[in-house]
Chain A
Amino acid sequence: MDVYAYNDCVHQWTDALFRFACKCTGNEEDARDIVQNSFVVLWEKREAVPSEKAKPFLFQVAYRQSIDHYRKRKDLTGGELPDTAATADGSNPDLKKVLDHALSKLDEQSRALVLLKDYEGYKYEEIARITGLTDAQVRVYLHRARKTLKSFIVRVDNLI
Chain B
Amino acid sequence: MVNSENYEEYLVLHADGELDEAETAALMAFIAGHPELKAELDAYESTRLVPDESLVFGPKASLLKEVPARKTISLKGWWAYGAAAGLLLVAGIGILRQTGQRTATGISAMAAATADLHRPEPVPLPAVTPANAVAQAPATPIRKEEVKTTTVPSTVAPVTGDIQLAQLTPRPAQSIPQPAMAEAPSAPELIFASAAAPADREGDLLALAEKKEALSLLGDAAAEQIDKVKKIRNSIKGTELAVTIGSRELFTLHF
- Which A residues contact B (CB, under 8 angstroms)? 2-4, 6-8, 10-11, 14-19, 22, 32, 35-36, 39, 43, 85, 87-89, 95-96, 99, 103, 114-115, 117-119, 121, 123-124, 142-143, 146-147, 149-150, 153-154, 157
Contacts and interface: CB of A to CB of B under 8 A. Distances in A.
A14 B60 contact: yes
A118 B56 contact: no
A147 B50 contact: no
Interface in B25-72: 40, 43-44, 46-57, 60, 62-68
A36 B61 CA distance: 11
A96 B54 CA distance: 14
Contact of A99 (B17, B47, B62): B47
A89 B9 CA distance: 30
A19 B58 CA distance: 12
A8 B64 CA distance: 9
What secondary structure prevails in chain A residues at the interface with B? helix
B220 interface: no
Interface residues of B, number: 32
B68 A146 contact: no
Contact of B252 (A4, A87, A146, A153): A4
B44 A18 contact: no
Given A19-B51, A119-B51, A14 B63 contact: yes
B43 A87 contact: no
A154 B60 contact: no
A32 to B, nearest CB: 7
Nearest to B50: A89
Given A4-B249, A14-B57, A121-B17, A95 B67 contact: no
B49 A147 contact: no
Interface of B: 9, 12, 15-18, 40, 43-44, 46-57, 60, 62-68, 242, 249, 252
Contact of B47 (A15, A121, A149): A149
B55 to A, nearest CB: 5
Given A8-B249, A99-B47, A118-B49, A18 B56 contact: yes
Contacts of A96: 50
